[in-house]
Chain A
């Protein structure tokens, strides 16, 4: 192993971990991307080190993007971390935010195989999608058994959502007191995570988000479907 290659690989890792862009259009880091894509040894070292740290690296449109992967204790966010980041108190509020984030994805993607060419979304579009997704649960809530509502249930989310007014004032602020406020809270966080960009009232998906969505869901679909069916937890007991 050449020392120069090791240095280059460490440089790439440092930049990525610090949240800098490494890609063909990333200004100062273009040369590092060139090294990564042309030098097999650099490529190998970067990937091996990231693998050991349980960090996933995805390449998308000549750019490199990393994420904490699944259940990364060191670099991944826990629910408690996210509650703190988003200023939330209880888990049901956090899960409502997850739900909104998921619905933001569905505004741009029908399935992981490709972008559906939606250029941007507005807060009201997201509100409509969330409303529609929870509609049949909310309709059934009209007759709801009191002791049926558990903390970890979509019914809890539906109650939380349906009890919120659309907005409390004309200017939408990121807050927990309205539907629009919740969405704004989520969008601000997604912007801070470099997944989205904002221009006036329009919210665009950044390449980083596209890279992660298309690759992560594509390669993990089997495992994710198992989680959805609740199979993973069942297997874990054996």
Chain B
């Protein structure tokens, strides 16, 4: 019982969190799947969009996070050119390549829209939509720049290392392992990744500050989340930095001891790698403590902004930011209209376009809206709902009776299951689920013997009435007589759902 409870908890409560983790992968698969198949009749279908996506993301991480600069479209094009030539051996003329790189970029940006997909949240019992972007754009001094989003960075890091609550700590643990196994080159890569992580946190800290300057309440919430996510890991991260520095020192000592009297090129390259690693980790420690001091100053800035905001609400004038925040908080979009409309000039011009005047004069038919012609007439008949029902029953009975008569003429004797087979063959197996089919059976079983000639003269039952109507326009089946023999003990199964007594039909000669 307890185990089942825990399982359900896992399924329901953690679903949202799991989707949050999965969402990073969505754009990759969306892009990798079919992106180039449809374009130019699949001319470039051999290009692997998945590989290109990862390559471009890595390029953006390098430019944005390592070199601290945003990317221009031309720079991206230049990078993709090298990929196309080196990895796909695709040599295109300038115009064609320009088209291809632009098309791929449009796909990576999802035409400027976020990638989105729907999922069901079992907690709220609602369908929700996840939205994620890989690359963002912005304008600076009239130039369009692109940068990678933090989601895309996380996705990229996720593809290679396990994601934990503190990426820095995970990377550091990995670093310790690499130092232990004397893989110093791999260690340098890990430290570079740590630097990237620190840079990402710095960006997030700046985002919090920007949000605070616009909306104090939302900014305060973002700040609290930031503190909760980031700063509580500082101690652990600092400890691991210290531990790794010690490990590097030990590794250096050991290398020097082992290599005494045996100073070959391998020894020198290893020592060189250890020194580079030491340098990189010192840089990382410096950046990390810089982040720590930035977070401390953030605390002071938050206090200052909150106090200032409290004071401004007491001021006796219309506070634009405060009013905007209130509008957003109350989700009162219509209030915007009242803020803006009274600022405009008087509306003195009249809306009467010259083109409309021309249309009026020439009465051009194609520009006119076609109206529905309503004719005045007298109501002659009215079909009631039960009449519609009756007609339906008549039509359905006609069809079944016709099959029955044809079979009687052909075979002389057969059972209900054989009739059913015939019906299924002609109209599909859904015919046996039709309600009218059962009404037909019930009405038919009211008598054991039927003679068409007698029915034509005087229809006795509802069933005979139907046959009478059906044969009103024709002389067919005049000589037909048949009897029904109900076999109570034998039954016919219909689609494993229903079971009815079998009936033997037999044509009776006159």
Interface residues of A (CB under 8 A from B): 17-19, 55-56, 66-70, 75-77, 79, 81, 84, 95, 98-99, 101-102, 105-106, 109-113, 123-124, 127-129, 132-133, 135-137, 141-147, 152-157, 162-167, 170, 172, 178, 180, 193-195, 201, 209, 212-213, 216-218, 220-221, 224-225, 227-230
Task: Name which of B335-343, B373-381, B412-420 contacts chain A.
Answer: B335-343
14 A–B contacts from the bound complex (CB under 8 Å): A55-B346, A84-B351, A106-B320, A106-B324, A111-B315, A112-B319, A124-B141, A142-B131, A145-B126, A145-B129, A163-B113, A194-B345, A209-B343, A228-B330
Q: B289 CB to closest chain A CB, in angstroms?
A: 29
Q: Is B118 an interface residue (CB 8 A)?
A: yes
**Contact assessment for B333 and A167 in the assembled complex, using a CB-CB cutoff below 8 Å:** no
- A112-B330 in contact given A133-B215, A144-B129, A167-B137 (Cβ < 8 Å): no
With a cutoff of 8 Å between Cβ atoms, the chain B residues found around residue A17 in the complex are 346, 348
**Contact assessment for A167 and B139 in the assembled complex, using a CB-CB cutoff below 8 Å:** yes
Q: Interface 1/0s, chain B 120-134, versus A by CB < 8 A?
A: 000010111111100
CA distance A51 to B312 in the complex (A): 33
Instruction: Kindly name the residue among B143, B218, B327, B335 whose own CB sees the greatest number of chain A CB atoms within 10 A.
Output: B335
CA distance A224 to B327 in the complex (A): 11
- A193-B344 in contact given A136-B211, A136-B215 (Cβ < 8 Å): yes
Given contacts A111-B317, A135-B214, 14 further A-B contacts (CB under 8 A): A17-B346, A68-B346, A68-B347, A76-B347, A79-B337, A95-B336, A102-B324, A142-B131, A152-B334, A163-B112, A194-B345, A216-B342, A228-B332, A228-B335
The residue on B at minimum CB distance from A127 is B139
Q: Is B266 an interface residue (CB 8 A)?
A: no
Q: Interface 1/0s, chain B 340-373, versus A by CB < 8 A?
A: 1111111110010000000000000000000000
With a cutoff of 8 Å between Cβ atoms, the chain B residues found around residue A110 in the complex are 319-321
Q: A147 CB to closest chain B CB, in angstroms?
A: 7
CA distance A31 to B211 in the complex (A): 50
**Contact assessment for B338 and A227 in the assembled complex, using a CB-CB cutoff below 8 Å:** yes
Residue from B128, B320, B340 in contact with A146 in the complex, judged by beta carbons closer than 8 Å = B128
With a cutoff of 8 Å between Cβ atoms, the chain B residues found around residue A68 in the complex are 341-342, 344-347
CA distance A66 to B210 in the complex (A): 37
The residue on B at minimum CB distance from A53 is B346
CA distance A154 to B334 in the complex (A): 9
CA distance A156 to B207 in the complex (A): 23
Chain B contacts with A in 102-127, Cβ cutoff 8 A: 109, 111-114, 118, 124, 126-127
Residue from B112, B315, B339, B347 in contact with A113 in the complex, judged by beta carbons closer than 8 Å = B315
Q: Is B90 an interface residue (CB 8 A)?
A: no
The residue on B at minimum CB distance from A138 is B131
With a cutoff of 8 Å between Cβ atoms, the chain B residues found around residue A163 in the complex are 112-114
Q: Interface 1/0s, chain B 188-216, versus A by CB < 8 A?
A: 00000000000000000001001101110
With a cutoff of 8 Å between Cβ atoms, the chain B residues found around residue A170 in the complex are 142-144
The residue on B at minimum CB distance from A17 is B346
With a cutoff of 8 Å between Cβ atoms, the chain A residues found around residue B210 in the complex are 132, 135
Residue from B126, B137, B345 in contact with A19 in the complex, judged by beta carbons closer than 8 Å = B345
With a cutoff of 8 Å between Cβ atoms, the chain B residues found around residue A193 in the complex are 343-345
Number of residue pairs A-B, CB distance < 8 angstroms: 205
CA distance A147 to B319 in the complex (A): 33
Q: Interface 1/0s, chain B 148-177, versus A by CB < 8 A?
A: 000000000000000000000000000000
**Contact assessment for A153 and B142 in the assembled complex, using a CB-CB cutoff below 8 Å:** no
CA distance A197 to B323 in the complex (A): 26
The residue on A at minimum CB distance from B328 is A154
The residue on A at minimum CB distance from B337 is A98
Q: Is B491 an interface residue (CB 8 A)?
A: no
The residue on A at minimum CB distance from B129 is A144
With a cutoff of 8 Å between Cβ atoms, the chain A residues found around residue B129 in the complex are 143-146
- A142-B348 in contact given A95-B333, A95-B336 (Cβ < 8 Å): no
CA distance A136 to B332 in the complex (A): 16
The residue on A at minimum CB distance from B111 is A165
**Contact assessment for A75 and B312 in the assembled complex, using a CB-CB cutoff below 8 Å:** no
Q: B446 CB to closest chain A CB, in angstroms?
A: 54
With a cutoff of 8 Å between Cβ atoms, the chain A residues found around residue B341 in the complex are 68, 70, 76-77
With a cutoff of 8 Å between Cβ atoms, the chain B residues found around residue A18 in the complex are 348
**Contact assessment for A218 and B345 in the assembled complex, using a CB-CB cutoff below 8 Å:** no
Q: B136 CB to closest chain A CB, in angstroms?
A: 8
With a cutoff of 8 Å between Cβ atoms, the chain A residues found around residue B16 in the complex are 143
With a cutoff of 8 Å between Cβ atoms, the chain B residues found around residue A229 in the complex are 326, 330, 332
Q: Is B235 an interface residue (CB 8 A)?
A: no
